[in-house]
Amino acid sequence: MPSSSIQARAPQGGVKADAGNHVQRDPDVLAGFLEDAAHFPGGHTDGLVAATCEADVANLLHGSLPVLPVGAQSSLTGGATPMGEVLLTTSRLNRIFKITSDSVHLEAGVTLTDLDAALRNAGRYYPPTPTFMGAFVGGTIATNAAGAATFKYGTTREWVQAITVVLPSGDVLDLERGRVMADGDGFEIRSTAGSTMRVPVPSYRLPQVAKLSAGYFAATGMDLIDLFIGSEGTLGVITEARLRVLPTRPALCLAFVPFAARLSALAFVRQLRGLARDTWRTKDPHGIDISAIEHMDVRCLELLREDGVDVANGVNIPAGSDIALLLTLELPPDMTAERAFDEIGGARDPGAPDGALRRFCRLLDAAGVLEDVDIAVPGDLARANQLLAVREAVPAAVNQRIGRAKQALDSRIEKTAADMIVPFDRL
Ligand SMILES: Cc1cc2nc3c(=O)[nH]c(=O)nc-3n(C[C@H](O)[C@H](O)[C@H](O)COP(=O)(O)OP(=O)(O)OC[C@H]3O[C@@H](n4cnc5c(N)ncnc54)[C@H](O)[C@@H]3O)c2cc1C
């Protein structure tokens, strides 16, 4: 039975005001933590604590200094750049406790790369990852990260079943989805010291878009766990989580598809989105199942050509291309490269329906782009990495040009990187 009230507990090991966490003050070590991937200028700190347990986190927060928790510092907002706070790195909270058929219980400092490797061994899959796999699980929860496959899998929020959070007082909350739900206007948190804190639900309304990282989550009757997911470390430090996982891993096929006309590409995207949704609804094993659709506009394609990225990666961008799509097609887990090539070539058992890959090729043909497509079939990691390298080369190309412009034109030139989320119909 859900309640709007929760009792905090003391951290395992207890809070000791004089516990004396080891604070790293070596300027050479601190220098490596002064900026995140936003390269926001002016970062400074004079201390870094590498927590190894819940009590370390509680001791630090319980003290009088402002604290900034960080994961891999891959934030693109400057949120993981210290502005005088003591840094709390979760890099040593990196244990994976348990993997079951549908969940994984782990500490906040596990990287997505390590999580993926452990899940791969167990045959499980955690899909809502940001594009950067070096990010820590705690960081992805704190930012409600959402990667290219948000279209199919939603954001990190939908995959978080439980978290442990150390509050600024040093008290700890064990939050499990569905257990603490807002009543009329909020929640009640009862501290270990006997006081009660009333936490109101934010009163604004969130825009209805698939991906959203700005501001605290807000909804009538919301779950308290959702207030912490996406709160960017402002409400407490996440030390552990239980995440939902899928029992099997799909085989992935990537396709780089250049189009001569933007509107034709958008019409193709609309068609794919509709077909994918049909497949999810009907569970057709041969249906087209797309998890990610990314696009590079004409200027991106020019940058790739200018830098020779297309040639270096053996990717064909025909002259006159106005846009290119990078599509991720999901196929049954047992799909091999050999079978995929057979399907693309049109081979199939007599009487059997066309497989998803064959259907996909027919769509490409109907859109007039089949000849120009580059495909990485499941298992062809080398080709997949080349297609992904083409995508990654775009921001790298911009960064290089910014660097050159700073030197040659004006040192005040900065790049502002941000995700702009719009409903597909408004693209
Ligand atoms: C190449 C590249 C690609 C990216 N692609 C995507 C993408 O597709 N989608 C996307 O959403 N983001 C993306 N990002 C941004 C970034 O990777 C994500 O926001 C990621 O979730 C941040 O994780 P992190 O461990 O690096 O956290 P950090 O950057 O270290 O921290 C981010 C914020 O979370 C807080 N925080 C960190 N750990 C904790 C904790 N344990 N408890 C409480 N608060 C904490 C920090 O204080 C900070 O406010 C990308 C970044 C790069 C560099």
What's the rounded Cα separation, in Å, for the pair 78 and 66? Answer: 17
Of all protein residues, the one whose alpha carbon is nearest to atom 2 of ligand 1 is 132
Residue 372 has pLDDT above 90, yes or no: yes
Question: Is pLDDT above 60 for 17?
Answer: no
Distance 405 CA to ligand 1 centre (A): 28
pLDDT of residue 19 exceeding 70: no
The gap from C-alpha 303 to its chain's centroid, in whole angstroms, comes to 26
More confident residue, 350 or 292: 292
Mean pLDDT on 33-48:
92
Q: Which of 132, 213, 227, 326 to mutate to test the pocket of ligand 1 (most atoms within 8 A of CB)?
A: 132
> What span, in angstroms and rounded, lies between the C-alpha atoms of 180 and 7?
10
Rounded average pLDDT over 272-278: 98
pLDDT recorded at residue 312: 97
User: What pLDDT is stored for residue 14 in this prediction?
Assistant: 73
pTM, entire model: 0.94
Q: Is the CB of 251 under 6 A from ligand 1?
A: no
Contact yes or no for 91/53 (Cβ under 8 A): no
Instruction: Compute, in angstroms, the gap from residue 142 CA to the centroid of ligand 1.
Output: 7
Tens-place pLDDT, residues 202-214: 999 998 888 888 8
Q: Is the minimum distance from the CB of 55 to ligand 1 under 6 angstroms?
A: no
Q: What is the DSSP string of 303-372?
A: HHHHTTHHHHTT----TT--EEEEEEEEE-TT--HHHHHHHHTT---TTPPPPHHHHHHHHHHHTT-GGG
Give the phi and the psi of residue 170 in degrees, each rounded to 5: 100, -10
Q: Tell whether the model's pLDDT for residue 182 goes beyond 60.
A: yes
Binding site membership of 132 for ligand 1 (Cβ less than 6 Å): yes
Place of tokens 């043909």: 365
pLDDT for 205 equals 92
pLDDT band at 158 (very low <50, low <70, confident <90, very high): very high
Q: How many CB atoms lie within 10 A of CB 345?
A: 10
Closest residue by Cα to residue 130 from 186, 189, 77:
77
Q: Which one-letter DSSP state was computed for residue 425?
A: G
Question: Do residues 202 and 230 make contact, with C-beta atoms less than 8 angstroms apart?
Answer: no
Please spell the DSSP secondary structure of 386-415, one letter per residue.
HHHHHHHHHHHHHHHHHHHHHHHT-TT---
Which protein residue's CA is at the shortest distance from atom 7 of ligand 1? 130
Give 386's contacts (C-beta < 8 A, 6+ positions apart): 313, 314, 315, 376
- Our CA angle for 270, 271, 272, nearest 5°, is 95
Residue 122's pLDDT band, with cuts at 50, 70 and 90, is very high
Whether residue 130 has its Cβ less than 6 Å from ligand 1: yes
Rounded-to-integer distance, Cα 400 and Cα 171, Å: 46
pLDDT-based confidence at residue 351 (cuts at 50, 70, 90): confident
Q: Which helix (H) or strand (E) holds 150?
A: helix 150-153
Q: Distance (Å, rounded) from C-alpha 112 to C-alpha 104?
A: 12
DSSP 426: G
Indicate if the pLDDT at residue 375 is higher than 90: yes
The predicted pLDDT at position 102 comes to: 97
Q: Give the range among 13-17, 35-39, 243-247 with minimum mean pLDDT.
A: 13-17
φ, ψ for residue 377, nearest 5 deg: -75, 160
Which of 87-96, 275-284, 320-329, 339-348 is predicted least confidently?
A: 339-348
Q: To the nearest whole percent, how much of the chain has pLDDT over 70?
A: 98
**Residue 94 CB–ligand 1 contact under 6 Å:** no
| pLDDT for the residue numbered 152 | 97
Residue 55's nearest CA partner among 8, 97, 19 is 19
Tokens for 88, please give them.
């709390």
Residue 75 beta carbon below 6 angstroms from any ligand 1 atom: yes
Q: For 192-201, what is each residue's pLDDT tens digit?
A: 999 999 999 9
Q: What is the pLDDT of residue 20?
A: 63
Confidence of residue 153 (pLDDT cuts 50, 70, 90): very high
Per-residue model confidence as pLDDT tens digits over 304-339: 999 999 999 999 999 999 999 999 999 999 999 898
Residue 131 per-residue DSSP state: S
Residues 331, 335, 341, 342, Cα dihedral to 10°: -110
d(CA 342, CA 252): 16
Residue (of 130, 427, 149) closest to 292 by Cα position: 149
pLDDT band at 13 (very low <50, low <70, confident <90, very high): confident
282: CA distance to ligand 1 center in Å? 35
* Ligand 1: nearest atom to the Cα of 80: 48
- Mean pLDDT taken over the chain: 94
Residue nearest atom 5 of ligand 1, based on CA coordinates: 131
Nearest to 228 by CA among 154, 137, 158, 164: 164
| Ligand 1 atom nearest to 395, measured from its CA | 1
How confident is the model at residue 41, as a pLDDT? 85
Q: Is 262 helix (H, G, I), strand (E, B) or coil?
A: helix
Closest atom of ligand 1 relative to the 74 alpha carbon? 26
